[in-house]
Structure 1
Amino acid sequence: MAMLEVKNIGISFGGLKAVDNFSLTIEKGQLYGLIGPNGAGKTTIFNLLTGVYKADHGAISLDGKELTGKSTIEINQAGIARTFQNIRLFKDLSVLDNVKVGLHNHHPYSTIEGIFRLPRYYKVEKEMNARAMELLKVFDLDKECDYKASNLPYGKQRKLEIARALATDPKLLLLDEPAAGMNPNETAELMDTIRFVRDHFDMTVLLIEHDMKLVSGICEKVTVLNFGQVLTQGETSEVLNDKRVITAYLGE
């Protein structure tokens, strides 16, 4: 059974088809790339997968569970987490607290328990602190746990955003242009991080990326989107050498 199965989803804005009959199948444990020129509809796909937008038609399922029409919270609880092209950390919170935000779905306590600091509040907070530190240690961020997120270098902010997404305990991790704004050394380190996340957390990863070195270096399969439609999909090396793909990127 596929981890993610998308069948013929589409959405229009003001009569303009942003995504048209998009289909995709990703197997468990794959590193999969979604690429295409600016404006091709890639982020719209992510928004459809995470419930930010509701598809006009089509179906989405994760690990055999139907997600079509579900809310963002329901989809996250089902096992899809994402990062964003523009980093969306809580800049004034500590590194530790940013990760703890992602843990609340799985470590709940009531408002009353929080306000009055009842025993369950302290128990859950202790559990969350321990789990958050485990995740930070994986990304070598445990020594900066008390730093403000805004004080981390750019590359470490990217890692923190991934750690926070993993705190929701997903089955599928969506990375939206994770290498955006990175220098070549940071990108190389990011590639190692993504591979590690896949292997260490038994994770399936779908990423949007414009850095073709990163895509060719880690993605096993790729789907190319152009004007909201699938241009081609398949093994990464074959897709990146497809003349239609080269034309779409270079405008030839």
Structure 2
Amino acid sequence: MALLEVKNLGISFGGLRAVDRFEVEIKKGQLYGLIGPNGAGKTTVFNMLTGVYKPTDGIIKLDGEDLVGKKTIEINKAGIARTFQNIRLFSQQSVLDNVKIGLHNQYKYSALTGILRLPKYHKMEKEMNEKAMELLKVFELDGKADFLASNLPYGEQRKLEIARALATNPKLLLLDEPAAGMNPNETIELMDTIRFVRDNFDMTVLLIEHDMKLVSGICEELTVLNFGQVLAQGKTKDVLNDPEVIKAYLGE
């Protein structure tokens, strides 16, 4: 059974059909790519998968659980986490606190416990600090735990955003143009990071990306969107050599 199963997914904004009959199946442990020209509907698909938009029609199932109609926080708890094309860190919070924010859906205590700093509060804070530092160490950011997130170089901010997403303990990680704004060396390092996350966190990854070197370098299968509809699907090499994809997407 596929980890993510999407069938006949569509959404309309007024009279505009932004995405129509989108379908995809992603197996557990896959590195899967969603590509297409600007305005093809890729981020709209991500927004439906994460509850930002409610689909007009269609089915979204994660590990057999129906997600359509659920709120973003419910979908996150079900096992989907995402990053954004424009990095959305808490820039004036520390690197450590950014990751701890991702952990909060796994730790619950009452307002009174927090206000009075009761033993349960201190126990949970200690556990969260330890887990957050473990994640930061994986991304070689533990030495900068006390830095403001805004003071990290761009590539490390991307890593921090991925670390925060992983802190929510997802089954499926959605990466929205993770290489945006990166230089070639940072992109190569990002590719290694994504592979590491898949292999060491038992993670399934779905990414939107325009950098074809990254896409061809790490994605095992692709779906191509064009004008809100699936243009092609399959193994990465086959899809990138499809004449219709070349015509519509690569402009050659």
Q: TM-score range by the shorter chain?
A: over 0.9
In structure 2, C-alpha distance between the alignment counterparts of 1:149 and 1:180, rounded to whole Å:
18
Secondary structure of the residue aligned to 1:196 is: helix
Equivalence map 1:170-249=2 (5 Å): 170-249=170-249
In structure 1, C-alpha distance between the alignment counterparts of 2:53 and 2:115, rounded to whole Å:
35
Displacement of 1:33: 0.1
2:125 corresponds to? 125
1:160 corresponds to? 160
In structure 1, C-alpha distance between the alignment counterparts of 2:251 and 2:33, rounded to whole Å:
21
2:107 corresponds to? 107
Tell me whether 132-141 or 242-251 shows the greater mean CA deviation: 242-251
Displacement of 1:251: 4.0
In structure 2, C-alpha distance between the alignment counterparts of 1:215 and 1:251, rounded to whole Å:
17
Secondary structure of the residue aligned to 1:6 is: strand
Displacement of 1:42: 0.1
AA at the equivalent of 1:143:
G
AA at the equivalent of 1:194:
I
Deviations 1:192-226 (A, max 9, x none): 00000000000000000000000000000000000
In structure 1, C-alpha distance between the alignment counterparts of 2:244 and 2:124, rounded to whole Å:
53
Displacement of 1:250: 3.9
Deviations 1:85-124 (A, max 9, x none): 0000000000000000000000121111111111111011
1:8 corresponds to? 8
Deviations 1:148-186 (A, max 9, x none): 000000000000000000000000000000000000000
In structure 1, C-alpha distance between the alignment counterparts of 2:139 and 2:250, rounded to whole Å:
36
Deviations 1:36-70 (A, max 9, x none): 00000000000000000000011100011111111
Secondary structure of the residue aligned to 2:9 is: strand
Unmatched tracts of structure 2, length 5 or more = none
Following superposition, which runs of at least 4 residues in structure 1 exceed 2 angstroms of deviation? Answer: none
Q: When the two structures are superposed, what TM-score results if normalisation uses the length of structure 1?
A: 0.99
Secondary structure of the residue aligned to 1:103 is: helix
AA at the equivalent of 1:39:
G
In structure 2, C-alpha distance between the alignment counterparts of 1:250 and 1:123, rounded to whole Å:
54
In structure 1, C-alpha distance between the alignment counterparts of 2:108 and 2:248, rounded to whole Å:
47
2:23 corresponds to? 23
Secondary structure of the residue aligned to 1:105 is: helix
Unmatched tracts of structure 1, length 5 or more = none
In structure 2, C-alpha distance between the alignment counterparts of 1:196 and 1:233, rounded to whole Å:
25
In structure 2, C-alpha distance between the alignment counterparts of 1:109 and 1:162, rounded to whole Å:
26
AA at the equivalent of 1:108:
K
Q: When the two structures are superposed, what TM-score results if normalisation uses the length of structure 2?
A: 0.99
In the alignment, structure 1 residue 138 sits paired with structure 2 residue 138: yes
